[in-house]
Amino acid sequence: MLRPTTLQRAATPARRLVALPLLTTASTTRCLTTFRAPTIKTPPRLSPAMKTKAQSMWAMAEPADPAVLAAQHALAKRLKEEALANSVAPVAEIEKPPYRVFRTASGNLQVYQERKNRLNTFVTEIRKVGGDPMALKTDLIELLKLEPKRVTYKNVSGKVVVWGAHKEVICKFLESKGC
């Protein structure tokens, strides 16, 4: 004879049996067993040796004396002030140039070195110059000690062209200026 089954629970809270509402015979019952984690967690049992080790670790991690904490705080504050005093001048004191060289998506300066005229002449290009490119041109003439005709600004493309292989020097110069 066929009859519907009902919901049954197991004795342990970690497992419960759920009977499906299927029509079964009297001799068999089909159940789906689901497991869930117990809600009560017990602390692990430690041996006496492990208890003393754990207590000593907590004692090292937590200084109990407020005077020790105050002394450590004062020392850390003094060291931080000394480090700030010995560091590089603040950004507000550094004079920003009237020009800017935009960086690529990867954060690199757009300074490129190419070969011209059958690979025996180098040309260094600084692309995407913003602000006053003529100020950059005069700074590069002073830095590299070149003739003014060896450094040109191309208005249409917005780049400064320097004759010669000067990529590393120009990159260091622009990074020191904060471009």
- 42 located within any domain: no
- 109 located within any domain: yes
Whether 94 and 146 have beta carbons less than 8 Å apart is answered as no
- 172 located within any domain: yes
C-alpha 14: how far from its chain's center?
43
Provide the domain count of the chain. Answer: 2
- 53 located within any domain: no
pLDDT per residue of the chain (179 residues) written in tens, 0 to 9: 555 544 444 444 545 454 545 444 544 444 444 445 555 556 566 667 666 666 666 555 555 577 777 888 888 888 888 877 776 655 556 678 899 999 999 999 999 999 988 778 899 999 999 999 999 999 999 999 999 999 999 999 989 999 999 999 999 999 998 87
- 23 located within any domain: yes
Confidence at residue 73, expressed as pLDDT on a 0 to 100 scale: 82
- 108 located within any domain: yes
Structural domain of 113: 99-177
- 48 located within any domain: no
Q: What CATH number should be reported for the domain holding residue 172? A: 3.30.780.10
Confidence at residue 166, expressed as pLDDT on a 0 to 100 scale: 94
SS3 label, residue 150: helix
Q: Give the C-alpha separation, 158 to 107, whole Å.
A: 19
Confidence at residue 151, expressed as pLDDT on a 0 to 100 scale: 95
- 21 located within any domain: yes
